[in-house]
Amino acid sequence: MDLGNTITAQQPAVIWLTGLSGSGKSTIAARVSEELERRGCDVEILDGDIVRNVFPTGFSRQERNEHIRRMGFIAGLLNRHGVWVICSFISPYRESRDFARSQARRFLEVYLATPLSECERRDPKGLYMRARRGEIRQFTGLDDPYEPPEHPDLVLDTSRISVEEAAARVVAAAFREPKGMG
């Protein structure tokens, strides 16, 4: 018997949304949070835009990794106290995402695989335009790499499915029956 699969369906998880700017992370995080709260879960969202004030960071590889390690530490701390934590960070590097996984009691890595061309077409904050003009450097997907997850728990492409559908799939994964017990 694989004890790794004997989690109960409602065991709180860190739901880690990773993907390019504009891939749909924050929007999906908000919808998933609503749905989990509707089901009575204790939920916290950690979002790059929300925490920037208290946790400013630079954009070198080292600074980004340190920042994501911190966010992973905080998410894990909450999760170990029974909180569902929805994290919405580009988190481009495998190393610090793996650290975040190591901190959580249960971790779902959700890869927002929306293509760069679509993210750039949306450009909700005008960041791609500024990066193309050279006003922003080290921009993930343009002049800084994004390392896709090798074994994500879920892959979603919001150029092919709606936000509603994407959020529903995350919630289904969060509440899935343990393997072999369904």
- Would you count residue 73 as binding its own copies (CB under 8 A)? yes
Nearest to 172 by CA among 104, 81, 110: 110
**Cβ-contact 37, 67 below 8 angstroms:** no
- Would you count residue 175 as binding its own copies (CB under 8 A)? no
Residue with Cβ nearer its own copies (44 or 118): 44
Beta-carbon-side half-sphere exposure of residue 165 (alpha carbons within 13 Å): 9
Catalytic residue among 23, 26, 33, 91: 91
**Cβ-contact 25, 88 below 8 angstroms:** yes
Residue with Cβ nearer its own copies (93 or 139): 93
Residue with Cβ nearer its own copies (74 or 110): 74
The distance of closest approach from Cβ of residue 55 to its own copies in the complex, given in angstroms and rounded to an integer, is 6
Q: Sheet of 84-88: strands edge to edge?
A: 43-47, 84-88, 14-19, 107-112, 154-156
* Alpha helices, DSSP H, located in 3-57: 25-38, 48-51
Binds its own copies by CB under 8 A, chosen from 36, 78, 166, 171: 78
Give yes or no: 91 in active site: yes
- Would you count residue 3 as binding its own copies (CB under 8 A)? no
| Residues annotated as catalytic (active site), given as ranges | 91
Query: Which parts of this chain interact with its own copies (CB under 8 A)?
Result: 42, 44, 54-55, 69-70, 73-74, 77-78, 81-83
